[in-house]
């Protein structure tokens, strides 16, 4: 399953997030795969795609960051899959 993670850096401050990432890495448990990410140009928010078969792994990863990041999680599918699911109703 793919998840779009919206991360709001607490207080709009990216420094604690990037410092922890530099010092400790992504902190993702085995089985949770980083796909890609984008950061807003004001460095206050990150949009990250992660993949795993067990949502508990995603929750475990977020627990390592929740003191400095507020999360929103959206299960997502690739656009091609969405188009195929809608095609019979067109």
- Output the pLDDT for position 65: 98
Encode pLDDT of 56-78 as tens digits.
999 999 999 999 999 999 999 99
Give the CA angle between residues 45, 40, 28 to the nearest 5°: 50
**Rg value, the chain, Cα:** 15
Q: Closest Cα partner for 50 from 89, 83, 2, 11?
A: 2
CATH at residue 44: 3.30.70
| Residue in this structure with the two tokens 């928010």, named with its chain if needed | 45
Q: Is the pTM for the entire model greater than 0.75? A: yes
Give the CA angle between residues 63, 68, 72 to the nearest 5°: 65
Residues of the chain with pLDDT > 70: what percent? Answer: 100
Q: What range does the domain containing 50 cover?
A: 2-89
Domains: count for the chain: 1
């Amino acid at each position: 399953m793919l998840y779009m993670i919206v991360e709001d850096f607490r207080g709009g401050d990216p420094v604690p997030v990037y410092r922890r990432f530099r010092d400790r890495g992504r902190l993702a448990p085995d089985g949770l795969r980083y796909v890609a990410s984008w950061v807003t140009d004001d460095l206050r928010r990150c949009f990250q795609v992660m993949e795993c078969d067990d949502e508990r792994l995603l929750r475990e990863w977020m627990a390592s960051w929740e003191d400095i990041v507020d999360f929103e999680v959206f299960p997502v599918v690739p656009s091609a899959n969405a188009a195929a699911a809608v095609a019979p109703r067109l």
